[in-house]
């Protein structure tokens, strides 16, 4: 009978064996499962099957990129109505010899005021002539020839049968592209999205033979308008002048701001130094109100007659042109702009070891990354700060609807060191920017930490 009575130890051994077996099954199954998912789901990326919808979206993306690039580089949105018909800039460009006014603008002068020449647009024969110094760069006729080739970045000419200019218009590329100087200074391949910090927009605009309509708009005489335009300096423009008429800051300096880069903007919520709106809001704003293209623009914030007297008086917050040459181009233009990534800092342009140390300072002791959140280097969300928060005056902030400064996305800082930093270039160097934060936020950074931080900023 003893054999019928099971040894209690045997029972517990059997249980342990059963439990171990079950665990093994679960582990093996889980392993198979995760292998299956890894193989079939590419680490959570989803099945790699291209559907018809995917193909349509891909084709759409390619089409938008191509269209947007074309618009960014070459579209004037009909702004010849302003630049040629109204202020007659084309007549100053061609000069008396072609029926215009004054001496005309030679390629040398054009390059001196920061205009750029797209070497890819030049035919091989002209490239050879240029290389051998056989092109007359002092002759405005050469400028006209370059315009005919569509080689002057951001300036588009249309011509009469006799070869003189019928009109000129400007495109986004005028201010937001430069060239790589690969052929000669100011002549090279296009770099879209780079701020043209050589371009003297004010001096170019002040050449216009008929500034009376601008003077009327601002309620001043032409001489004053010229003084204002010439006060801007290279790489600068005042996008708010035609809204509020404020040409100078309380300290007497120009109220203009730096031309910002237009790359690395994907993922960034608000745009412009003072966060006026999204990329497409601002594109519509600029195309209608600054370039003076023919389109539609709606922003009732401009009806504020105290803050924006000129805009309110002229109904700039509700522009309706017929035909509308802008609105249909906004989708692809935005798409192209968001696709322009910030260029990588060239090796050797910064001290790599110091930059690695600087990254730690940026994220830790200096707390920069609280606002400049990597990898977009601005805040995901409402990326705006009061002037007090960053320790500067409120003048420019007050000229915008939200009265704040937008956290500048820092990628590609190395491309726009000319003209200084912050909206008005008040800090000549990155070292000056770091010193500012060091004192405003009492960061107690050592000289070494500051130097490392600068190298990191140059590496972005
Ligand atoms: C005459 C020079 C000029 C032209 C032409 C111009 N811009 Fe700008 N752009 C500026 C300036 C200056 C600012 C900064 C304005 C401000 O903050 O008040 C700016 C700001 C921007 C910004 C915001 C960038 C950021 O940091 O968020 C975008 C986007 C932009 N421009 C796109 C365009 C597009 C698209 C066009 C053509 C439709 C265009 N711009 C034409 C001078 C120009
Ligand atoms: C409270 C948020 C905040 C913090 C913290 C902060 N920044 Fe900024 N930063 C801003 C804002 C806002 C601007 C735009 C200022 C302007 O347009 O005048 C800016 C602008 C800059 C610019 C100029 C970019 C340009 O295009 O000219 C640099 C460089 C910069 N910050 C670096 C830093 C560094 C380095 C630190 C840490 C020491 C830091 N920031 C900390 C908000 C911040």
Indicate which CATH number applies to the domain containing 406: 1.10.760.10
Whether residue 170 sits in one domain with residue 89:
yes
**Cα dihedral 395/398/404/409 (nearest 10):** -60
Whether residue 138 sits in one domain with residue 9:
no
Domain of 107, in residue numbers: 73-235
**Where is 418: in which H helix or E strand?**
none
How far is ligand 1, taken at its centre, from the CA of residue 443, in Å? Answer: 33
Is the residue at 117 inside a domain? yes
Is the residue at 346 inside a domain? no
Whether residue 86 sits in one domain with residue 29:
no
Whether residue 184 sits in one domain with residue 85:
yes
The whole-number pLDDT of residue 48 equals 74
Encoding tokens for residue 246? 């404020």
Is the residue at 62 inside a domain? no
Residue having the nearest C-alpha atom to atom 37 of ligand 1: 172
Whether residue 224 sits in one domain with residue 104:
yes
Domain end: 235, 250, 283, which one?
A: 235
How far is ligand 2, taken at its centre, from the CA of residue 423, in Å? Answer: 10
Nearest to 397 by CA among 409, 385, 408: 385
Is the residue at 159 inside a domain? yes
Longest CA–CA separation in the chain, Å: 129
Which three-class secondary structure state does DSSP give residue 373? Answer: coil
Residue having the nearest C-alpha atom to atom 36 of ligand 2: 368
Pocket of ligand 1 contains residue 291 by CB under 6 Å: yes
User: Which ligand ends up closest to the CA of 421?
Assistant: 2
Pocket mutation for ligand 2, best pick of 193, 255, 433, 446 (most atoms within 8 Å of C-beta): 433
Is the residue at 257 inside a domain? no
Minimum-distance ligand 2 atom for the alpha carbon of 437: 38
Minimum-distance ligand 1 atom for the alpha carbon of 265: 27
Whether residue 451 sits in one domain with residue 368:
yes
Domain end: 203, 235, 267, which one?
A: 235
Whether residue 111 sits in one domain with residue 29:
no
- The whole-model pTM stands at 0.88
How far is ligand 1, taken at its centre, from the CA of residue 260, in Å? Answer: 7
Whether residue 97 sits in one domain with residue 190:
yes
Is the residue at 324 inside a domain? no
User: Which ligand ends up closest to the CA of 293?
Assistant: 1
The whole-number pLDDT of residue 273 equals 98
Whether residue 93 sits in one domain with residue 28:
no
The whole-number pLDDT of residue 49 equals 84
Whether residue 188 sits in one domain with residue 85:
yes
Whether residue 150 sits in one domain with residue 11:
no
The whole-number pLDDT of residue 2 equals 46
Whether residue 108 sits in one domain with residue 29:
no
Pocket of ligand 1 contains residue 330 by CB under 6 Å: no
Residue having the nearest C-alpha atom to atom 11 of ligand 1: 259
Is the residue at 255 inside a domain? no
Which three-class secondary structure state does DSSP give residue 152? Answer: strand
Is the residue at 275 inside a domain? no
Distance, CA of 285 to CA of 283 (rounded, Å): 5
Q: For every one of its 460 residues, what pLDDT tens digit does the chain have, with 9 covering 90 and above?
A: 444 445 545 555 556 555 555 655 554 445 455 555 555 555 556 667 889 999 999 999 999 999 999 999 999 999 999 999 899 999 999 999 999 999 999 999 999 999 999 999 999 999 999 999 999 999 999 999 999 999 999 999 999 998 899 999 999 999 999 999 999 999 999 999 999 999 999 999 999 999 999 999 999 999 999 999 999 999 999 999 999 999 999 999 999 999 999 999 999 999 999 999 999 999 999 999 999 999 999 999 999 999 999 999 999 999 999 999 999 999 999 999 999 999 999 999 999 999 999 999 999 999 999 999 999 999 999 999 999 999 999 999 999 999 999 999 999 999 999 999 999 999 999 999 999 999 999 999 999 999 999 999 999 9
The total number of structural domains that make up the chain: 3
Q: What share of the chain is helix, strand, coil (3-state, %, to 5)?
A: 45, 10, 45
**Contacts for 117 with CB less than 8 Å, ≥ 6 apart:** 107, 111, 146, 151, 152, 153, 179, 183, 186, 187, 188
């Amino acid at each position: 009978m003893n054999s019928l009575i099971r040894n209690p130890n045997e029972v517990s051994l059997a249980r342990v064996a059963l439990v171990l077996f079950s665990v093994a099954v679960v582990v093996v199954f889980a392993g198979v499962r995760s292998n299956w998912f890894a193989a079939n789901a590419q680490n959570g990326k989803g099945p790699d099957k291209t559907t018809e919808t995917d193909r349509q979206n891909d084709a759409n993306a390619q089409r938008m990129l191509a269209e947007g690039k074309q618009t960014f580089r070459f579209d004037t949105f009909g702004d010849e109505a302003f630049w040629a018909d109204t202020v007659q800039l084309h007549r100053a460009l061609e000069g008396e010899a072609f029926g215009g006014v004054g001496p005309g603008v030679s390629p040398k002068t054009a390059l001196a005021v920061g205009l750029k020449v797209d070497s890819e647009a030049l035919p091989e024969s002209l490239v050879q002539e240029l290389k051998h110094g056989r092109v007359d760069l002092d002759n405005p006729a050469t400028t006209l020839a370059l315009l005919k080739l569509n080689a002057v970045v951001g300036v588009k000419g249309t011509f009469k049968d006799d070869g003189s200019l019928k009109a000129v218009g400007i495109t986004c590329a005028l201010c937001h592209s430069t060239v790589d100087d690969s052929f000669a200074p100011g002549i090279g391949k296009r770099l879209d999205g780079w701020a043209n910090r050589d371009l003297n927009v004010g001096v170019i605009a002040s050449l216009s033979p008929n500034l009376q309509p601008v003077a009327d708009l601002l309620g001043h005489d032409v001489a004053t308008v010229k003084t204002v335009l010439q006060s801007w300096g290279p790489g600068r423009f005042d996008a708010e002048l035609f809204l509020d008429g404020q040409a100078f800051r309380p300290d007497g300096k120009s109220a203009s701001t730096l031309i910002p880069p237009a790359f690395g903007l994907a993922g960034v919520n608000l745009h412009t130094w003072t966060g006026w709106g999204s990329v497409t809001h601002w594109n519509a704003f600029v195309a209608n109100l600054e370039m003076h293209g023919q389109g539609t623009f709606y922003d009732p914030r401009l009806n504020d007659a105290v803050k924006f007297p000129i805009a309110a008086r002229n109904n700039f917050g509700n522009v309706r042109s017929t035909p509308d040459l802008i609105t249909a181009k906004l989708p692809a233009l935005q798409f192209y702009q968001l696709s322009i990534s910030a260029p990588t800092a060239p090796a050797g342009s910064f001290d790599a070891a110091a930059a690695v140390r600087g990254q730690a300072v940026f994220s830790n002791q200096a707390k920069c990354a609280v606002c400049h959140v990597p990898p977009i280097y601005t805040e995901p969300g409402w990326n705006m700060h009061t002037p007090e928060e960053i320790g500067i005056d409120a003048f420019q902030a007050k000229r915008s609807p939200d009265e704040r400064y937008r956290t500048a996305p820092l990628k590609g800082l190395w491309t726009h060191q000319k003209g200084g930093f912050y909206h008005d270039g008040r800090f000549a160097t990155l070292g000056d920017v770091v010193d500012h934060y060091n004192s405003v936020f009492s960061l107690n950074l050592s000289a070494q930490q500051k130097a490392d931080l600068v190298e990191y900023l140059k590496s972005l």
